[in-house]
Amino acid sequence: MKSMSLITILLAASSLIASISSYAENNNIIIATGEYPPWTSEASKGNGFVNHIITEAFKSQGYMVYYNFLPWARSYNDTENGQFAALSYWACKEKTQKTFYCSDAMHTESYVFFHEKTIPFPDWTELVDLKGLRIGATRSYTYTKEFWQAHESKMLDIIINNDDEASFKMMLRGRLDAVVVSSITGFLILNTKFSPVIAQTITFNKKPLVENTAHLLFPKSRKDSQLLLKVFNKGLSKIKENGTYDQYFDGLITGKY
């Protein structure tokens, strides 16, 4: 009888440990991301503004988040195939929605054309008005469907680089006429990677190429994606209501990321 009691206790303890282990595993998620400061960056506070928001949103719902920094194209493909719980972060375009669930919008980015002050920029209304300019862009960024079509058809002379900083360096060497990048990212690069004297020689055209909303993407290839989507959206709403989001956004515009 005592032996049976001991076995019962051991089995119950093992079951409890397994249950706790399973709970911990289910509440720890790995998200793929890439380098795009100040939004996402391994060297930035909270892994960048967007990742900081994601972490706090999940934390408010009892989840712990870990990030795997990869080249953007790989982060997209690997998450699409279900290797990661989510992808931080992407615009929610028609193509994306075929294989991903999109979260509620986390913020809005204006993509603009930076150029040297000494070089006049066209007063443009359509992409064709930019014909003749050498424009720097970054591999795997969303921009717009029309922008990439202009590149593929060679209507526009778009030079693709691996990151935004490389495009700025090319422009300052006279090899590009403009760089398309989000306004906040562009100013961050100029103010942290170049001297104040050089940064003051650059401006941007006020007409944006596009204003994209940023989303956390959950792959449709994973069974837990719809659950995690609901959890994240609930957490995002909570940190917006309690002031955490505004606190982090203030940090973004004051250069803390």
Residues 208-245: tens digit of each pLDDT: 999 989 999 999 999 999 999 999 999 999 999 999 99
- Give the pTM: 0.68
For 59-93, the pLDDT digits (tens) are 999 999 999 999 999 999 999 999 999 999 999 98
Tell me: the pLDDT tens digits for 22-45? 333 579 999 999 998 889 999 999
Topology adopted by domain 109-211: D-Maltodextrin-Binding Protein; domain 2 (3.40.190)
- Residue 67: C-alpha distances to residues 29, 80, 94, 184, 251 (Å): 9, 16, 26, 23, 21
Render the burial of 153-184: b for 16+ CB within 10 Å, e for the rest: eeebebbebebbbbbbbbbbeeebbbbbbbeb
Residues of the chain with CATH 3.40.190.10: 27-107+213-253, 109-211
Instruction: Provide φ and ψ at 209, rounded to 5°.
Output: -65, -40
Q: Which two tokens stand for residue 168?
A: 């700025």
SS3 171: helix
Taking Cα atoms as reference points, which of 138, 162, 164 lies closest to residue 151? 138
Domain 27-107+213-253 architecture: 3-Layer(aba) Sandwich (3.40)
Q: Write down the pLDDT at residue 26.
A: 75
In this predicted model, what pLDDT tens digit does every residue of 168-196 receive, in sequence order? 999 999 999 999 999 988 988 998 899 99
